Amino acid sequence: MTVARLVLSGIKKAYPGALANDDVALTVGQGEIHALLGENGAGKSTLVKIIYGVLAPDAGEIAWEGRPVTIPSPHAARTLGIGMVFQHFSLFDALTVLENVALGLDAKLDRRTLAERITKVSQAYGLPLDPHREVHELSVGERQRIEIVRCLLQSPRLLIMDEPTSVLTPQEVERLFSTLRQLAKEGVSILYISHKLHEIEALCDAATIMRGGKVVAHCDPRTETARSMAELMVGSSFAAPEKPTRRLKRAPRFSVNALDLPTAEVFGTALREISFDVQVGEIFGIAGVAGNGQSELLAALSGERLTEPGFVVIDGQKVGRLGPRARRMHGLAYIPEERNGHAAVPDLTLAGNALLSAFDRRGLLSSGVIRHARASAFAQEIIDRFSVRATGPTARASALSGGNLQKFVVGREILQAPNVLIAAQPTWGVDAGAAAAIHQALIDLAGHGVAVLVVSQDLDELMALTDRMAVLNGGRLSRPLVTAEATVEQIGLLMGGLHDLPDEVPQGDGQPETTHG
């Protein structure tokens, strides 16, 4: 009988006011690709930090290859044979690949030997790397290879992957899956965390599902559907977004015209000749891997960074020299990517957060004085209309889960009755039920004639929501594609750097003929 590689039993971890892990059991077999699923706050991150030695459990046992162990530190985890690739990379842009790898290794090797090992291991697993290139020159996919190769150089027997495909093109995802399958064939166990359930179906042999700090189900993803696993994660069924059948009007409501913008950051991305328009009632998507100019573009569109007047136009009005407040008065609403600190202030109440962007359009100020009753009523309206789980307008934003805070931010912007809505990563890190609710809200908004721009790394999200889409790569935007006629492979090529597709690929001409339905 083969001994399991990792067995957790009775794992508990408490924080003040919250039980993050409650009697958690998990078994990962040798050579098994095992999914760990759950919505935000389910306890996944706490559990993998315990496995990797970042946190100590309050109770419970860990067995490694049949014997009880304690894992007091990441160094101890690596000594056992546990490696982890975190969702957010720990790399220094100004250093080379070799220097970054060396910083993360416990064993010290001379530069020549380490360079040879990096080259050998990266080629063996289909993850080619040049040890002497500086990290700031690399794509996000190549940066992820550094993290994986750094783990592989330590010959792990268990590899933990946290949301590994969130910054990859479809082609890079396939390459990563080939590498993981090869590792599994060689006996390496993989604990795989992802919110992309179709990937779990395609890759994983088993899945453990958590909710509220507890394990609520085990399943074989190959016999499940993405929807059935999502319902296990959230504990209930939920309605899929519905697109009504309607013909789009041929009238641009939001336009960007030949936008050129130098980068303000050392390793930022300059924007070059960005042009597109969003029609009345259209959902237009911008896809792309992070770091290709999205933050620079969003700053220019929202008014956080000013441009020449005609670069940005709302309903025929040139607004490039106007800041965020003035653009809002022209009908623009904006959902930033970062919930905490950009879209919302964690220490403020929900009423205070409602005031932040809506004080003009909702009349929440009078001669510079806050109308507290109106702000509270507006916050309560958001809570009611968007099913935000909160104790009321006086609750602090920090008390809400990620999904509920995101629904509050989305509701705050939609209820200002904008003419144009820009949504950056609108469902980033939220559970399937909240994502479906947010998607439906965007579809409904477009149905009322609003021009909706969605900037997202989630290609599935864009394929499901948008009428047309374009791809941002290296600060340049591709010609728009009619979403219903485009393929994932074509969009993946654009995301990878092919700046225009061959002529036979259907292109959007700015006059969409698509219908929602």
Q: Which range scores top for mean pLDDT: 170-174, 314-318, 385-389?
A: 314-318
For residues 304-316, average pLDDT: 94
- The yes-or-no answer to whether 6-234 and 241-331+418-517 have a common fold is yes
Helix residue spans in 34-94 (DSSP H)? 44-51, 74-80
Tens digit of each residue's pLDDT (9 = 90 or more) over 217-246: 999 999 998 889 988 888 877 677 776 665
For residues 432-448, average pLDDT: 89
User: Which pLDDT score, from 0 to 100, does residue 516 have?
Assistant: 45
Handedness of CA 70, 76, 79, 83 (dihedral sign): positive
Q: What is the mean pLDDT of the chain?
A: 89
User: Which pLDDT score, from 0 to 100, does residue 249 have?
Assistant: 67
For residues 155-160, average pLDDT: 94
Tell whether the model's pLDDT for residue 410 goes beyond 50.
Answer: yes
Domain boundaries, the chain: 6-234, 241-331+418-517, 343-417
Handedness of CA 187, 188, 193, 197 (dihedral sign): negative
Tell whether the model's pLDDT for residue 182 goes beyond 50.
Answer: yes
For residues 365-387, average pLDDT: 93
Tens digit of each residue's pLDDT (9 = 90 or more) over 67-117: 999 999 999 999 999 999 887 778 898 999 999 999 888 878 889 999 999
For residues 316-332, average pLDDT: 96
Tell whether the model's pLDDT for residue 44 goes beyond 60.
Answer: yes
Contact 252, 510 (CB under 8 A): yes
The better pLDDT of the pair 463, 403 is held by 463
User: Which pLDDT score, from 0 to 100, does residue 175 have?
Assistant: 86
Superfamily of domain 241-331+418-517: P-loop containing nucleotide triphosphate hydrolases (3.40.50.300)
CATH number of this structure's domain 6-234, picked from the four choices 3.40.50.720, 3.40.1190.20, 3.40.50.300, 1.10.10.10: 3.40.50.300
Tens digit of each residue's pLDDT (9 = 90 or more) over 286-295: 998 877 899 9
Tens digit of each residue's pLDDT (9 = 90 or more) over 453-473: 999 988 888 998 999 999 999
Contact 412, 426 (CB under 8 A): no
User: Which pLDDT score, from 0 to 100, does residue 33 have?
Assistant: 97
User: Which pLDDT score, from 0 to 100, does residue 515 have?
Assistant: 44
**Treating both helix axes as pointing N-terminal to C-terminal, what angle do 350-358 and 402-414 enclose, rounded to 10 degrees?**
40
Selection from 325, 330, 338 nearest residue 298 by Cα: 338
Tell whether the model's pLDDT for residue 498 goes beyond 70.
Answer: no
| pLDDT-derived band at 247, boundaries 50, 70, 90 | low
For residues 189-197, average pLDDT: 91
User: Which pLDDT score, from 0 to 100, does residue 501 have?
Assistant: 56
Selection from 174, 131, 136, 68 nearest residue 495 by Cα: 174
User: Which pLDDT score, from 0 to 100, does residue 1 have?
Assistant: 66
Q: Which contiguous run of DSSP H or E holds residue 18?
A: strand 18-28
SS (H, E, C) 485-498: HCCHHHHHHHHCCC
Tell whether the model's pLDDT for residue 510 goes beyond 50.
Answer: no
User: Which pLDDT score, from 0 to 100, does residue 53 have?
Assistant: 95
User: Which pLDDT score, from 0 to 100, does residue 108 have?
Assistant: 82
Q: Which contiguous run of DSSP H or E holds residue 20?
A: strand 18-28
For residues 183-198, average pLDDT: 92
User: Which pLDDT score, from 0 to 100, does residue 517 have?
Assistant: 37
Tell whether the model's pLDDT for residue 250 goes beyond 80.
Answer: no
